[in-house]
Amino acid sequence: NEGNEYFREKDYRRAVIAYTEGLKKSCEDPELNAVLHTNRGAAQFYLGNYRSALSDAIQAKKLKPTHLKAIIRGALCHMELKNFSEAIAWCEEGLRIDSKEKKLVEMRAKADKLKLEETLLEVRTDFSAHWQSRAVMGTDLLCERNIKLVLEPSNEEEEISDGLAEISLDGFHSDNATGAKVHLDADGNLNWPVLFLYPEHEQTDFIAAFHENSRFIDHLMVMFAELPPWDLERKYLPSNLELYFEDEERAEMYELNPEHTLLQVLRHQRYFVKAGTPTVLAFVKHSPFSKKYFSGKKVHRL
């Protein structure tokens, strides 16, 4: 009670001391101890002691696995510590207890988005560092395919002209981010890591080895053979999807033909491969979200 009073007064340091004194009593009531750990964790959180707060959330969850306040606090700590994968895991654990808990739903979406941004940044950073430190190879492979590669994202980003790009096939990836790299198979064909983005739900799919002569529709049929759990409205059917890529330089969108192969898309005059990972965006046809998303944008349709 003393700790709660200090907490209401926003005297978090004294609240931590009070809750600690309560825990020292070694009460045999696990629920009360779970509350003490959760409350102390909340006070530690507001003091900026995120690791201590996380430790309390872990202890509270051990004492009472269904204690939502502890789970929410643990997820918040992981967010502050930029442990987005762990934050997602905590959110999912809480949502299994209460699937409509607003804080967890919102945090799960935010963690997914931040994790994706972090992944893309790591891929691009690792590739840039690798390219600068190793011998460059594979120029002919891209030249003959007329594939254009952007080596490093920046405000003054420049394209590699005339379809030429310099690419190291030995290390065109980040082990920590995707664990995949573009590689040449025994038949002389390239297999690319490809990222699918679903902006409406802030979800992603990652294909580690997309054969350059494979069609997009073939992968969609596999990916959506079963509807994903986040598709609550059951809209993401292969026949109901439209695919696009973005020309960031011109701020324009291009629709893809799902019957086309990856190589046909990569050869498009306005497609530039960033950080060694081709990216496409998927939308439900004629959905309110897609109409809003494309509002005000120039879109080149099939």
Domains of the chain and CATH, by start: 1-117 (1.25.40.10), 183-301 (3.10.20.90)
End-to-end CA distance of the chain: 66
With a cut of 60, say whether residue 249 has pLDDT above it.
Answer: yes
With a cut of 90, say whether residue 163 has pLDDT above it.
Answer: no
pLDDT at 179: 56
Compute the average pLDDT of residues 142-158.
64
More confident residue, 145 or 23: 23
Q: List the Cα angle 182/255/173 in 5-degree steps.
A: 15
For residues 76 and 228, give the distance between their C-alpha atoms in angstroms, rounded to a whole number: 26
The closest of 195, 223, 222, 180 to 279, measured between CA atoms, is 195
pLDDT at 139: 57
pLDDT at 141: 72
Structure tokens given for 110: 């935010």
pLDDT at 129: 53
More confident residue, 250 or 153: 250
With a cut of 80, say whether residue 93 has pLDDT above it.
Answer: yes
Q: Give residue-wise pLDDT tens across range 197-207.
A: 999 998 999 89
Which of 4-8, 130-134, 145-149, 183-187 is predicted most confidently? 4-8
Alpha helices in the chain (DSSP H): 2-8, 12-24, 30-46, 50-63, 68-80, 84-97, 102-133, 139-145, 216-223, 262-266, 288-294
Structure tokens given for 116: 């994706």
pLDDT at 20: 95
For residues 110 and 91, give the distance between their C-alpha atoms in angstroms, rounded to a whole number: 11
Q: Give residue-wise pLDDT tens across range 289-299.
A: 999 999 888 99
With a cut of 80, say whether residue 63 has pLDDT above it.
Answer: yes
pLDDT at 128: 54
Q: Which residues pair with 79 in a beta bridge?
A: none
pLDDT at 91: 95
Q: Predicted confidence band at 26 (pLDDT cuts at 50, 70, 90)?
A: confident
